[in-house]
Structure 1
Amino acid sequence: MGKNVGTIDRAVRIIAGVVLIALVFVGPQTPWGWIGIIPLATALIGWCPAYRLLGLNTCPMK
């Protein structure tokens, strides 16, 4: 299981994940904000299963 998420992609995922999780506590306060765990987890791990299925790779290392 190699890394397939690049640095810019990881930064965007971290920001999106934190914003979505923040929506649970402020704003509309719906439980749908917990979906932000997925982009946050894939950014921290550096591997996205959807990228593998689609054959994408934003990581410059091979």
Structure 2
Amino acid sequence: MTRNVGGIDRIARIVVGIVLILLALTGTIGAWGWIGVVPLATGLFNFCPAYKLLGVNTCKLKK
């Protein structure tokens, strides 16, 4: 797996994932909040399968 998620994109995914999971745990948004596992995982692993399919890469290029 090559990295294709980096920088601000990675931080945003982690934050959004945690917020959605917390909202699901408190019952604020119901079971749909568990979808937050997806952005949390892609942020932690620095890899997004959808980005790979679309040819998107937000990591900085190494010289």
TM over 0.5: yes
Aligned residues: 62
Q: CA deviation at 1:28?
A: 2.3
Taking the TM superposition and a 5 Å limit, the aligned residue runs for 1:1-62 are: 1-26=1-26, 28-62=28-62
1-side partners of 2:59 and 2:31: how far apart? 32
2-side partners of 1:61 and 1:44: how far apart? 19
Question: Which runs of no fewer than 5 residues in structure 2 stay unpaired?
Answer: none
Q: CA deviation at 1:22?
A: 1.1
Question: What's the TM-score once normalised by structure 2's chain length?
Answer: 0.88
Q: Which of structure 1's runs of 4+ aligned residues deviate more than 2 A?
A: 25-29
Percentage of matched positions with identical amino acids: 58
1-side partners of 2:29 and 2:3: how far apart? 33
2-side partners of 1:38 and 1:60: how far apart? 22
Q: Which amino acid aligns with 1:17?
A: G
Q: Which amino acid aligns with 1:10?
A: R
